[in-house]
Structure 1
C-alpha cells in the first residue's frame, strides 16, 4: 500500500492583467493589497540582498556584483571578525519583522534572534546581548545561549489587515509600476491618458503569481520601463533605464566635516582619461561595503531625481503619493523613512544616511504577568523593564569593533589596512602584497600614470553611490570630475 504525503504548496497571489494584444503589452493590472505589499517591500531590501537575489537571474547592477563578489572572495582576516563579513553578505532588512508577514517572502535572511554568554558574563558590571550567535564573549566562549524576548508582539499575529497597505483593498498597477487605489474614476482617467477610449482593444488575463514571478519582477523593475509586460507576456523588447546625473557641489559649500570626510588617493591613466584604481584605507572600503547594507528606498531618497533605476523610482513615488489612509499604520509608513538596520551601518558615514537605533533591552530573572512574578531559571529579556523581574539594562555586543563594544565601533574592516579599489569596484586587500608585482601586472606605461589626492565628502560620496548602481566604471563616473590638471614641470 502506498501512502502519499501532502506537500506544502507554494502560496500564490491572484493578479488580473488588462492586455493590449496588438502591442503585446500590459496596460494595467489589478491586485489586492497583499500583492502591493510585496512590490513595496522591494524598497526595504538592502542592496546586498538585491544583488544576491538577482545574480541568480544573471542580472548585473552597475558595479554592485563586483563589490559583492570581492566581499565573498575576501578572507575573514580582512574584517574585525567573521561576523562582519557575514553581516555584509546577508544584510538585515530594517523592516524584517514586517516583511516576515508577507504572503510571499523574497528576502531569505533569517529572523533576528537574541543571545547571551552561557556563563552570563559581565564586563564592567554590564550584561551584554548579541543578535549574532557566533559572537565571542569577553571570557572567550561563544554567546550562543538563545534568550526569549518577552512582551514584544510586533512579530506575532496575522497579516489579514495587510503589512504596509490595507490588504482587503484593490489597487491598480501600471506597466511602469505606478500604483494607484483602484476606483472607477482612477481607472477611466488613466486609460484615457494612455490613449484608450474603450475596452475593445483590451483583453483580460488572470494569473496566479508565485515567488519565481516576484523574483523576475524584482530583476526587471531594476532595469526595465515595462516589467509587467517583460515578466507576464515575455516581452523582451524593453529598454534598459539606468541613469545617473552627478550632483554638482557648490564652490562655497561652507565648512568641511573632517570627522566624516574620507581621504583617497587615485591613480589616473592619462591617455584613457580614466581612474585606473584607488589606494584606500579602511574608511573608504567600509563606505563601499556599506552600500550593501543600505535599503533601496534609502538610496532613492538620498539621490532623489538624480538617479533612474528602471521603474523603482515610480514605485517609490507611488508610496509618497498614496493616500495615508490606505496604509496600515495611521501614524505613517516606515517605507518613507527607511534607515539601515541597527549595527549594519558605517559609523563615519559621509552622507545623511542614518542607522536605526538599537532598542534598549532589559534582562531579568523572571516575567511579570498581571502583577504576579514568575521565576525563570535561565532568565528572560524584554524591551519593557516593567515586564521582567529584577530588570537590568543590557549593552549591545557590536561586531564592528576590536572588542565588541559600541564605543569602539568603527566599521567592518580591520584598522590599519590598505586596499586597491579598481574602477569597477573590485576590492583587493594589499596585505603582504608586492607593489612591484602589482605594477608589473598592470602592464601600463609608468609615465601614463598620474596620482591625485581627493577628499570624499557628502556630494562625492553620493555621486559614487549613484555611479556604482548605473555604471561599470564607478570611480571614473563618480569622481573624475574632481581631478584638476597638474602643472607640467619644465625639463
Structure 2
C-alpha cells in the first residue's frame, strides 16, 4: 500500500484552452479535506513549507513573516527560556493535528504529539507532571523522556476515514479555490456566470494529485487568484494578489486602551523617507510578534475579515462558511469555523487575545479498564477519560515557557528582562551586549534624519501589524505609521 507521501488523488479539470486557464475542477471529499486543511496550518508551519526550495522552484515569501521565522532560526538558545521554546516557534502545533493525521496526503510534516513523564516518576506538589515536548527537564534534574501511550482518545471522533467533509460525494473547485457542492444546478449557474453558455470551448482533463502538486497549490494559493491554472497549466507567473488596508481606531472611542494587554513601543522614524526604521522592544512585544508563527491561517483570516486579502485563501475560508453544514462530518461544530491556537502555544499578554484551544485534562493510572476488568500496565497509562483507567490521578501539563515548567501560566517565549531591535521588515535582533554607538554607526543614517516616537499598541494596532506582516515587506511602516500622522499627544501612550 502506498505511503501518505506517495499517495495521489484524482482530479478532473475543465480547461479553456484558448485562455489557458482552469475554469472548474471536480474532486472527491478526500482532496477537498486537504485544501481545507491549509486553513489549520500555523503561519510558522506555512513559512517552513513554502520556504523549502524544490528542484526548478524558488522559495516563496509571504510578506515578512519569513523574516520573523528566520530570526527565530538564527537566534541563540540564550534568547529563549529553553530550547523547547525555540522549537515550538519553528514547528508550531496544528490545533487540528489529530484530524489532519487522517488526510490521504498531509502537507504538515511536523512530528505528531507525544507524551512524556520523568522516569523517576517525580511529583511536585503532589502532582504527576506530563510533557508533550521531548527533552523537557524535570525538577529532579533528569529529562522527562519516558514516553507514555495515550489510552482511549476519542476527542476527534470515531470515523476513521472522515476528516472535515463527507467523502462519499463530489465537489466543485474553481480556479480561485472557491468550493461548492457538485450538482448540475451549481455547475450550470457558475459556468454561465463565468461566461460559458455551453461546454464547446472546454476540454476535460483528468490527472492525479500528490504531495508535490499540493505543496505547489499551497504556495500559489497564498499569492495568486488562479492557483489551479498556475500549477496545472504552467501559469506560475500570475500577478501577486495580497492586499491589506490598516484600520483606524474610531474617533468616538478616543485613545483608550486596555492597560493589561496593550504594549508600549518606542519607534525610530527616518523623516526623509517617512518610514519606521526600527523599534526598540521588550519581551512582551517580541512575544506578541512571535505568536504570529503559532496562529492558524484560518484564525488570521477570521480576525482580519474585510480588509485583508491573501491570494485566494479568503475564498477557501469563505467556502467553509458558505458550505451547507450537512456536508461536514460534524455538522454541529466543524473545527474549521472555530480555529484557535494549539494548547500551550498561545501568548497570554498581548493585544489581540489570540485564544488557545481548550486544554484537556489528563489522568495517570496503573492500568486500563475494559468491560469492568482491570489490566495492569507496568509503566502505567495516561488518558483523557478517567473512567477508562484504574486509580486515576489528575496530572499537570509541563509548561515549557517558564523557567521551571511549573507555573500555571506561561511567561512567554523569550527570556525576561530582554531588549530587542525589531526592524521594519520584522527581522528581530537581540540587543544584549550591543554597543549603541556601534549600532548607530552601522545604520549609516544622518542622525538629524532620525526621530523617536512612543506608541501604544492596542487591539486595532496589533491587528494592523498582523495584516501588514503577511502582505508587506515593511510591516512596521505599513501597520503603524498612520499613528504618527495624528496629533503627537494622541499617538503617545
| TM > 0.5 fold call | yes
Q: Which residue of 1 aligns with 2:76?
A: 75
Does 1:16 pair with 2:17?
A: no
Give the alignment's TM-score, normalised by structure 2: 0.95
Distance between the aligned counterparts of 1:236 and 1:49, measured in 2? Answer: 23
Q: CA deviation digits over 1:230-282, x for unaligned, max 9?
A: 00000135221100011111133275211111111000011111000000000
Distance between the aligned counterparts of 1:227 and 1:137, measured in 2? Answer: 48
**Conserved 8 A contact 1:402-1:408:** no
Q: 1:271 to 1:101 in 2, by over 3 A?
A: same
Q: Which residue of 1 aligns with 2:109?
A: 108
Displacement of 1:330 in angstroms is 2.2
**Conserved 8 A contact 1:243-1:307:** yes
Distance between the aligned counterparts of 2:251 and 2:353, measured in 1? Answer: 20
Q: CA deviation digits over 1:38-77, x for unaligned, max 9?
A: 0000000000000111112410100011111111000011
Displacement of 1:154 in angstroms is 4.8
Q: Which residue of 1 aligns with 2:50?
A: 54
**Conserved 8 A contact 1:286-1:346:** yes
Q: Which residue of 2 aligns with 1:3?
A: none
Q: Which residue of 1 aligns with 2:172?
A: 172
Q: Which residue of 2 aligns with 1:42?
A: 38
125-134 vs 248-257, which moves further:
248-257
**Conserved 8 A contact 1:421-1:428:** yes
Does 1:355 pair with 2:356?
A: yes
**Conserved 8 A contact 1:115-1:145:** yes
Match of 1:31 among 4, 15, 27: 27
SS at match of 2:305: helix
Q: Which residue of 1 aligns with 2:235?
A: 235
Displacement of 1:156 in angstroms is 8.7
Distance between the aligned counterparts of 1:485 and 1:329, measured in 2? Answer: 51
Distance between the aligned counterparts of 2:130 and 2:475, measured in 1? Answer: 39
Does 1:142 pair with 2:138?
A: no
- The number of residues matched between the two structures is 481
Distance between the aligned counterparts of 1:279 and 1:352, measured in 2? Answer: 22
SS at match of 2:216: helix
Please list, as runs of the form range in 1=range in 2, the aligned pairs for 1:142-161 lying within 5 A after superposition: 142-154=143-155, 159-160=160-161
Distance between the aligned counterparts of 2:107 and 2:368, measured in 1? Answer: 35
Displacement of 1:373 in angstroms is 1.8
SS at match of 2:368: strand
Displacement of 1:331 in angstroms is 1.4
Q: Which residue of 2 aligns with 1:470?
A: 471
SS at match of 2:280: strand
Distance between the aligned counterparts of 1:393 and 1:157, measured in 2? Answer: 25
SS at match of 2:252: coil
Give the alignment's TM-score, normalised by structure 1: 0.95
Distance between the aligned counterparts of 2:213 and 2:236, measured in 1? Answer: 15
SS at match of 1:407: coil
Q: Which runs of 5+ in 2 are unaligned?
A: 53-57
Q: Which runs of 5+ in 1 are unaligned?
A: 1-5
